[in-house]
Homo-oligomer: A and B are copies of this chain.
């Protein structure tokens, strides 16, 4: 009998872990946490149920591991494209958006799972899910500060920044989700829409083109 190459080695173990997480991404994203049974997941992943427990401790542990991997992967990818790179804030924002979309494109299942948990998870795994968010928000914040400084914008005009920042993230998710149903749209086009929403809104603020309700409306 031939030794199953690496299956018992250190790297084999890690490879197998990743393979299980791939299956978990797919199943959790397609059907949600509760609709997935470990019986089925173990079957699809070619592992025994006790094996699952050896790797992840519990169903929740597996779910968290999948969320964490997705969250970390996303943030790392975007950070690599933005932080400490050359170019104008605008150019770096553009590269960040492209990196975001690239990640989504290559990891649709993982991103869907992340998105679902963020908007509908009831906050139970907030910490796992929010890490990517915070790291990306920090990047945006930095870029915004740089830009504002360059344009000489005073702090008071940024009062609306928090909700609008939140809105920006929500918009990204919203458009990304729309993109999943329109895969024929090129990544660049989607990125352009995002840039417009992000930059235009910001520019409007800067230039005082803000809508205000008149009295009595």
For A91, give the chain B residue with the smallest CB separation: B217
Task: From A32, A121, A199, name the one whose CB has the most chain B CB atoms within 10 angstroms.
Answer: A32
Interface positions, chain A 159-185, Cβ under 8 Å from B, are: 160, 163-164, 166-167, 169-171, 173-175, 177-178, 185
One complex includes copies of this chain to the number of: 4
- At the interface, yes or no: A196 with Cβ under 8 Å from chain B? yes
- At the interface, yes or no: A210 with Cβ under 8 Å from chain B? yes
B177 and A31 contact, CB distance less than 8 A: no
A196 and B210 contact, CB distance less than 8 A: yes
CB-contact partner of A201 in B34, B166, B200, under 8 A:
B200
Find chain B residues with CB under 8 A from A167 CB: 171, 174-175, 178, 193, 197
A212 and B192 contact, CB distance less than 8 A: yes
A177 to B174, CA, bound (A): 13
- At the interface, yes or no: A61 with Cβ under 8 Å from chain B? no
Interface positions, chain A 57-103, Cβ under 8 Å from B, are: 91, 94-95
- At the interface, yes or no: A2 with Cβ under 8 Å from chain B? no
A31 and B122 contact, CB distance less than 8 A: yes
B211 and A201 contact, CB distance less than 8 A: no
Binary B-proximity of A107-136 (CB < 8 A = 1, otherwise 0):
000000001100111100000000000000
Distance in Å: Cβ of A125 to nearest Cβ of chain B: 13
Chain A contact patch, size range: 35 or more
- At the interface, yes or no: A213 with Cβ under 8 Å from chain B? yes
A171-B171, A175-B166 in contact; A203/B192 too (CB < 8 A)?
no
Find chain B residues with CB under 8 A from A14 CB: none
B213 and A209 contact, CB distance less than 8 A: no
B211 and A199 contact, CB distance less than 8 A: yes
A190 to B163, CA, bound (A): 8
Find chain B residues with CB under 8 A from A200 CB: 200-201, 204, 209-211
Residues of chain A having any CB pair with chain B under 8 Å:
30-35, 91, 94-95, 115-116, 119-122, 160, 163-164, 166-167, 169-171, 173-175, 177-178, 185, 188, 190-193, 195-197, 199-201, 203-204, 209-213, 217
